[in-house]
Amino acid sequence: MFELRGIHAAYAGTKVLRGVDLVVPPSSVVGLLGPNGAGKTTLLRVASGLLKPTAGQLVVDGKDLTSASPHRLVDHGVCHVPEGRGIFPSLTVRDNLLLQSVKGKENEAAEKAVGAFPRLGERMSQLAGTLSGGEQQMLALARAYVQNPRFVLLDEVSMGLAPKLVDEIFEFLDLLAKTGTSLLLVEQYVTRALAVADYVYLLNRGEVVFAGEPCELDADALAEQYVGAGH
């Protein structure tokens, strides 16, 4: 179980998150929705240990990891796929994968990545920065996958991709969830997110304005949140 309790966060004194409570239960997909600037990326940064909250707690399996480093959170199975992908452009595909794998199990990790995304197999020696946008996104997901994470935090993984690729990526996310990994999914395609999510949180101006199952979310109220952003 991954929990954020009463999280407040700020940048240079400007408050961005105001008392956010969010739970990612085991083997579940949690969608995190909300208009631009709502604080979704900031919340994932707090969840991965990159940004320390000004108040509140980050609890993984009952353990308070609020002051843990991002590295230690990785050891607890928390894996962040950031906005803009977080791969190393000047390294090859293979080296990007090897950096995430356990020593002595590098080949296993590469095979696992190729099993999920065969296209990466044809491009192992290519520099990651020269991959197409979609391939870079696959690599970013594969890097998370080879770590056998328990909780994956995904920030707009479908951004800028053609619908067919988005389908492929969502199929992969579905597979990941079915194999017992929990996902916290920030997604611009609201309908897609609602289709895969077991639970959904709607964030607006740093506060949770809805938490529940997708079927409980009223479409008009949702549209209102997006349209009314910033007012």
Ligand X SMILES: Nc1ncnc2c1ncn2[C@@H]1O[C@H](COP(=O)(O)OP(=O)(O)OP(=O)(O)O)[C@@H](O)[C@H]1O
Q: Quick one: which of 36, 90, 125, 191 contacts ligand X (CB under 6 A)?
A: 36
Q: Quick one: which of 3, 16, 38, 41 contacts Mg ion (CB under 5 A)?
A: 41
Is residue 30 exposed (0-12), middle (13-18) or buried (19+ Cβ within 10 Å)? buried
Which of these segments, 37-45, 56-64, 110-118, 133-141, binds Mg ion (CB under 5 A)?
Answer: 37-45
Q: Rounded to the nearest whole angstrom, what is the least distance from the CB of residue 103 to ligand X in the complex?
A: 34
Give the interface size with ligand X as a residue count (CB under 6 A).
10
- Residue 53, φ and ψ in degrees, nearest 5: -70, 155
Of residues 11 and 90, the one with the C-beta less far from ligand X: 11
Q: Quick one: which of 4, 24, 31, 40 contacts ligand X (CB under 6 A)?
A: 40
Is residue 182 exposed (0-12), middle (13-18) or buried (19+ Cβ within 10 Å)? buried
Which of these segments, 10-18, 24-32, 34-42, 161-169, binds Mg ion (CB under 5 A)?
Answer: 34-42
Q: Is residue 17 within a helix (H) or strand (E), and if so which, with residue range? A: strand 14-24
Strands 182-186 and 14-24 come out as unpaired
Q: Does 205 bind ligand X (CB under 6 A)?
A: no
| Identity of the amino acid at 160 | G
Name which of 198, 199, 202 is nearest 223 in CA terms. 202
> Binding residues for ligand X, per CB under 6 A?
11, 16, 34, 36-42
> Binding residues for Mg ion, per CB under 5 A?
40-41
